[in-house]
Structure 1
C-alpha cells in the first residue's frame, strides 16, 4: 500500500480523485469517466446494511477506526474534537445536562452541534449519542417518568411494556438522541444490592420476557421498515452478565456462589432479548470468580458474540475497562479490547485510549482484525439506526416535546398495575369517597423526589445536586397526595401532615413511608429495616387509634415484620414515578389491585443473607385483590 503522503505528492487532478475514492483512506465519493461525482456506496440507503459497512470500512484509516471506538462524556469533548479525532459516540451520564438548559430544544441543539462536527469529517460518519433513559427519559425536565422496573415486574404486562418502550423512545428522539442504555436484564438474588429496583424480577424467565418486550417497544419490531429509525431508538441490554448475583449483593462485586450452569439461567434473558432484536449490550462491572467481565474473552466473545450470535456492538460501562488492571491503563485497555469490547464508554480519558490503542496495534498486541470487528459492529448499528440519512434531530418531535398527556396516561396505567396489596384487614380498602375524612401522613406522600427515586434528573435522584435533599417539585407530575385529593372529590375531607400530627378524628389514615432516592454505588444496604423516621411516623398515627393504610415507596422489599401487625392495610407502591394518581386509582377502587410480587419478601435479614426463601413474609407471586 502506498503511503498517503507519497500519493498526495504524485497524483493530481481526476486521476487522484478516481484512485483514492476506492483506496484505503480515500475520500468518500468517486468520479466517473466524465469527471462527475458519484455517491459512495456506503451513502446509498438503497443498499443493504452489510454492503454499506463493507464499502465504508476499507475507506477508513486506523486513526478513524479507533476514533469510532470511543464514547466521551459530553462535558469533556467538543464538536471540534469530534471532527479532529473522528469520535464515534458521545454520552450524557446521569445528571449531565446541556449547559443552556434542560428542555428538549436544549438537548437537540447540543446533540446536533456534536453531530455537525462528526458530519464535517472526511467520511462524514455520524455519532451515536447515548443516555440513561431507564424509566422514561429521566434526565430531561418534563419527561414522563415511569415506575422503576421492580414495579413493572409486579405489573407483569407485556403489552404495557411495549407501549412504555414506544413512549420512552419517542421522548428520547424528541431531544435528538437515538440510543438509550436500557433495559437492565439482571434478576437480582440479593436485595441488599442498590440496583435491585432496576431488575424486573428475581426470576430470569420473567426478566427475559419483560425486558424483551421493552426492547421491542424501544426499537420497533425487528422486521419493520422503521426498526431503530424514526421514533425508535437503539436499546442496550445490560449488564452482561451476573450483576445481580454478587456476594452480599455488593455493587460491582464478585460472583462466586453460582455455578456456570446457574449463571446460564441468567444469560437466557440476553438470548431472548437478542432474538427480539437488541442491538447493543453493556458489560457488567462485576467479576466472575475474580475475573472482571470487561476482560473476560470467554463471556464476551465466545458466549455473547459466539453462542448467542450477537451481531451488534458491545459497549463498556462507565470507565469499566480501567478496573481490570487498576493503575495500569495500557494493560486494562489491551485486555478489554481483546476480550471483545467494541465501544468504550471512557468519559474523560478518551485521548489516552486513542493513543494507547494505536500503540497496541502497532506492536501487534491488538490485531487489526479485532479493530475491524469492533468498528464493523458499530457502523452496522449506526446504519440500522438511520443516522447516515437523518443524523440531526427531528424538529417536529422536538416541537412536540416530552411528557404529553398520552404518555402520562400510559405511566398512570403502569402505576396502578404495579401496586401490590399485601394486607387488607377488615376490607379497609377500597377507601370510601363520600362523606369521609381521610388523613394523609408522611413527607413522602407529597414529594416527587422520593416518589421517582434514583436516576431522575440526576444520577442518584432526589435533586439536581445528587445525594441532596429530595425536592418536592423535582419533576412535573402528580404526587400521591395530589392523586388522593383529586380522586376523593368534593364530599371527602383530606388533611395532610408530614409528621403525622392531627390524625385523631379521621376515618382512615394513609401513611406513606419508604426509602430515600439512591442509585448504583450508594444504594447497597446491610440493614433493610424501615427508617427510624418512618417507624416514628407509624407509631404516632397508631397512637391516634385511626385505622392505617400504609404505602411503602421503595426500590425493594423492606424488613417490616414487626410493624406489619399495626397496619390495617399494606401496599407495595415501589417507586411510581411522575404519575402518583395511579396509586389513588386503586386505593379508591376505581381499578382493581392486580400487581403481584416479582420478588420474595423476607421476614428478616437472615433470610436475605442466607438466600432462604422457604418461609418468607410474602411469597413471590403474592398479591391480594379487594374483592
Structure 2
C-alpha cells in the first residue's frame, strides 16, 4: 500500500536520508500517512474507539505501514482519533514524539485530525486549554481547527508566553512545516499550475483507474473444482441476467467521501461506467442482457438464462456511519443471491470497503469476486470477469467466516479464516 506515497510524491532518490520528506516536482503533492496508529484495531472495529494491544503487537501489526512510508519520504503523518490502551493518540507523547520522531527519525510534520485535540477530553472540548497543551506537547505540529481558530490561537499564545508550552516545541513544529514547504518548492512556486485541471478525468486518467480496478479484483471462488472453473464468463450467450443493488449504481461503486462526506447513491454524481453498463459493453452484440435488481426465484427459473452476475455489497459510508457489529451484505442482497444463485449458474461480485459475511451463501455461489470499491471504472470489473484480462489480485486482509472471530490476524493461535491473508485465485485471459 505504501507505493501510493511514491505515486503522490515521486520516487525518492537512492541514498536519501531516512525520514526526510521528499516531493519530486511541482506536479507532485505531499502525501500523508494516517491514522497514526492502531485505528484499524479498535475494539469491535468501532471508529474512534480504544485499541487494546501490547506494545509488541502494536509495532508488529499496526506500525509497518509507517516504517515503509517514512523510508519512501512521506511528508506528513496524521494522528488517529483512537486511543491505545486508554491513552488518546492525540495526547500520546510516547508514540508521537518518542517513537515516530525520535526512534523512526521522521522529519516531516505531524498533523491532527479534524478537531482531533478537542476529543482528547470527554466530552469533546470540555477543557480546551488542556487539549491544546496535551496535543502540542505530545508532538503534533499542525492542528486542524475548522471553527474556533481564535480560541485556539489565543489559548496557544497564552501557554507559550507563560512557559506552559516551551518555545522549543513551537520552533520544532515551525521547522518541520517549513521543511515540507521548502521540499515542495512552495516558496519558488507558491501557486498550483491551473492548466493541470484540464487533465482531471481525462481518458488517460480513466484508463489508469481501470487498470487499477483490474489488478485489485480478488477471485475467491471459481467453480467447485479447478477442472471446471466458472470464470471467465463467455462473451457469447443467448441470454444472461445481471442482478443486485450494486450492479447499476455509480455512487455505490465510489463509496464514501465521494461528492459528499457519506457518499451518494445513483448515477448522476460523476462520469463513469457502472458494472451493468460495462457488462453490456463487453459481451457479444448477439448476447441479450436482462437487468432486474432483485428478481424472485420464479423469474430466474423461467428466464432460461445462460448465467447470471449478481452484484451486491454495502452502501457508501464514512467514519462512524460505517460502524457495524454484523458486517452483513445490505438488504436485499442476501435474498438476491439466494433467488438467483439457487436457480442458475451465478457469479457474485461483492462491492465493499471491507470483508463482509459471505459464508452462508458459499454453497449457492459458483464464483465469488471481491471488487472492493471500483470507483468510476466498472469496465475494469467486466474486463476480468469476462476474460479480456486474468485475475491476479490477492487479499490485503483476512476474510473471516463469522464476526465472532474478529479481530483475527495472521499468526493468531486460532487463525481459521474463510480466506486467508494473501489469498487469491488466478485466471488467464481468453485469447480473441
Q: Using structure 1 for the length normalisation, give the TM-score.
A: 0.63
Residue segments in structure 1 that go unaligned for 5+ positions in a row: 1-209, 463-469
Mapping of residues 569-580 of structure 1, within 5 Å:
569-580=367-378
Shift of 1:411: 0.9
After superposition, what is the alpha-carbon deviation per residue over 1:409-444, rounded to whole angstroms, capped at 9, x for unaligned?
111111111111112224222111124311101231
Q: SS state of the match for residue 114, structure 2?
A: coil
CA distance in 2, matches of 1:458, 1:609: 30
After superposition, what is the alpha-carbon deviation per residue over 1:3-23, rounded to whole angstroms, capped at 9, x for unaligned?
xxxxxxxxxxxxxxxxxxxxx
CA distance in 1, matches of 2:419, 2:97: 40
Corresponding position: 1:457 with 2:252: no
Counterpart contact for 1:427–1:626, Cα < 8 Å: no
Count of residue pairs brought into register by the alignment: 407
Shift of 1:505: 1.3
Counterpart contact for 1:557–1:602, Cα < 8 Å: yes
Q: SS state of the match for residue 244, structure 1?
A: helix
**Alignment match of 1:423 (pick from 215, 218, 221):** 221
Mapping of residues 477-516 of structure 1, within 5 Å:
477-500=272-295, 502-503=299-300, 504-516=303-315
CA distance in 2, matches of 1:348, 1:471: 32
Are residues 287 and 435 of structure 1, via their aligned partners in 2, closer, same or farther at CA, if it must alter by over 3 Å?
closer
Q: SS state of the match for residue 332, structure 2?
A: helix
CA distance in 1, matches of 2:205, 2:38: 33
After superposition, what is the alpha-carbon deviation per residue over 1:301-333, rounded to whole angstroms, capped at 9, x for unaligned?
111111111111110001111111340011100
Counterpart contact for 2:398–2:408, Cα < 8 Å: no
**Alignment match of 1:384 (pick from 165, 176, 183):** 183
Other-structure match for 2:137: 338
CA distance in 1, matches of 2:285, 2:155: 68
Mapping of residues 241-280 of structure 1, within 5 Å:
241-256=37-52, 258-265=53-60, 266-280=62-76
Other-structure match for 1:364: 163
After superposition, what is the alpha-carbon deviation per residue over 1:90-110, rounded to whole angstroms, capped at 9, x for unaligned?
xxxxxxxxxxxxxxxxxxxxx
Corresponding position: 1:563 with 2:353: no
After superposition, what is the alpha-carbon deviation per residue over 1:552-578, rounded to whole angstroms, capped at 9, x for unaligned?
111111112111111111111111111
Q: SS state of the match for residue 318, structure 2?
A: coil
Q: SS state of the match for residue 322, structure 2?
A: coil
Mapping of residues 129-208 of structure 1, within 5 Å:
none
Shift of 1:375: 1.0
CA distance in 2, matches of 1:516, 1:455: 12
CA distance in 1, matches of 2:67, 2:419: 31
Corresponding position: 1:598 with 2:396: yes
**Alignment match of 2:379 (pick from 581, 600, 609):** 581
Are residues 561 and 610 of structure 1, via their aligned partners in 2, closer, same or farther at CA, if it must alter by over 3 Å?
same
Corresponding position: 1:437 with 2:239: yes
Residue segments in structure 2 that go unaligned for 5+ positions in a row: 17-21
CA distance in 2, matches of 1:298, 1:626: 48
Other-structure match for 1:60: none
Counterpart contact for 1:480–1:584, Cα < 8 Å: yes
Are residues 348 and 536 of structure 1, via their aligned partners in 2, closer, same or farther at CA, if it must alter by over 3 Å?
same
Shift of 1:625: 2.5
CA distance in 2, matches of 1:282, 1:610: 25
CA distance in 2, matches of 1:542, 1:223: 52
Counterpart contact for 1:246–1:253, Cα < 8 Å: yes
CA distance in 1, matches of 2:97, 2:341: 58
Q: Using structure 2 for the length normalisation, give the TM-score.
A: 0.90
* CA RMSD, Structure 1 to Structure 2 (Å): 1.9
Other-structure match for 1:230: 26
Are residues 254 and 428 of structure 1, via their aligned partners in 2, closer, same or farther at CA, if it must alter by over 3 Å?
same
Shift of 1:609: 5.1
Are residues 610 and 585 of structure 1, via their aligned partners in 2, closer, same or farther at CA, if it must alter by over 3 Å?
closer
Other-structure match for 2:417: 616
CA distance in 1, matches of 2:159, 2:237: 76
Higher mean C-alpha displacement, 593-602 vs 580-589: 593-602
Higher mean C-alpha displacement, 274-283 vs 526-535: 526-535
Counterpart contact for 2:41–2:407, Cα < 8 Å: no
